[in-house]
Amino acid sequence: AGAAEEPSQTRRALVDTAAGAISGGISRTVTSPLDVIKIRFQVQLEPTAKWGVLRRDVYGPSKYTGLMQATKDILREEGLPGFWRGNVPALFMYMPYTAIQFTVLHKLKTFASGSSRTEDHLHLSPYLSYVSGAIAGSAATVGSYPFDLLRTILASQGEPKVYPNMRSALVDIVQTRGVRGLYAGLTPTLVEIIPYAGLQFGSYDTFKRSMMSWNRYRYGIEEDDSASSFQLFLCGFAAGTFSKAACHPLDVVKKRFQIEGLKRHPRYGARIESSTYKGMYHALTEIVVKEGFGGLYKGLFPSVVKSAPAGAVTFVAYEYISDWLDPSRHLY
* Integer Cα distance of 299 and 297 in angstroms: 6
pLDDT digits (tens, 9 = 90+) for 97-121: 877 877 888 788 888 877 777 666 7
| Section 1-16 average pLDDT | 60
pLDDT digits (tens, 9 = 90+) for 235-246: 877 887 888 888
More confident residue, 172 or 263: 172
Whether 218 shows a pLDDT value over 80: the answer reads no
Among 52-61, 110-119, 196-205, 286-295, name the one with the lowest average pLDDT. Answer: 52-61
- pLDDT bracket for residue 60 (50, 70, 90): low
Buried b (16+ CB within 10 A) or exposed e, 18-36: bbbbbbbbbbbeebbbbbb
Which range in 1-15, 48-62, 216-230, 278-292 is most confidently predicted, on average pLDDT?
278-292
- pLDDT bracket for residue 261 (50, 70, 90): confident
Nearest alpha carbon to residue 133 among 208, 234, 22:
208
How confident is the model at residue 258, as a pLDDT?
84
How confident is the model at residue 1, as a pLDDT?
42
* Integer Cα distance of 261 and 270 in angstroms: 11
- pLDDT bracket for residue 223 (50, 70, 90): low
| Section 171-185 average pLDDT | 89
More confident residue, 201 or 331: 201
Domain ranges of the chain: 19-114+123-325
Among 9-13, 160-164, 240-244, name the one with the lowest average pLDDT. Answer: 9-13
Whether 82 shows a pLDDT value over 80: the answer reads yes
- pLDDT bracket for residue 76 (50, 70, 90): very high
More confident residue, 179 or 60: 179
How confident is the model at residue 58, as a pLDDT?
55
Whether 229 shows a pLDDT value over 70: the answer reads yes
Computed over every residue of the chain, the mean pLDDT equals 79
- pLDDT bracket for residue 221 (50, 70, 90): low
Name residues whose C-beta falls within 8 Å of residue 319's C-beta, 6 or more positions apart in sequence: 232
Share of the chain above pLDDT 70, in %: 88
How confident is the model at residue 332, as a pLDDT?
43
Q: How far is Cα of residue 314 from the mean position of the Cα atoms in its chain? A: 11
| Section 298-316 average pLDDT | 79
- pLDDT bracket for residue 225 (50, 70, 90): low
- pLDDT bracket for residue 54 (50, 70, 90): very low
Record: fold of 19-114+123-325: Mitochondrial carrier fold (1.50.40)
- pLDDT bracket for residue 328 (50, 70, 90): low
Whether 3 shows a pLDDT value over 80: the answer reads no
How confident is the model at residue 71, as a pLDDT?
92
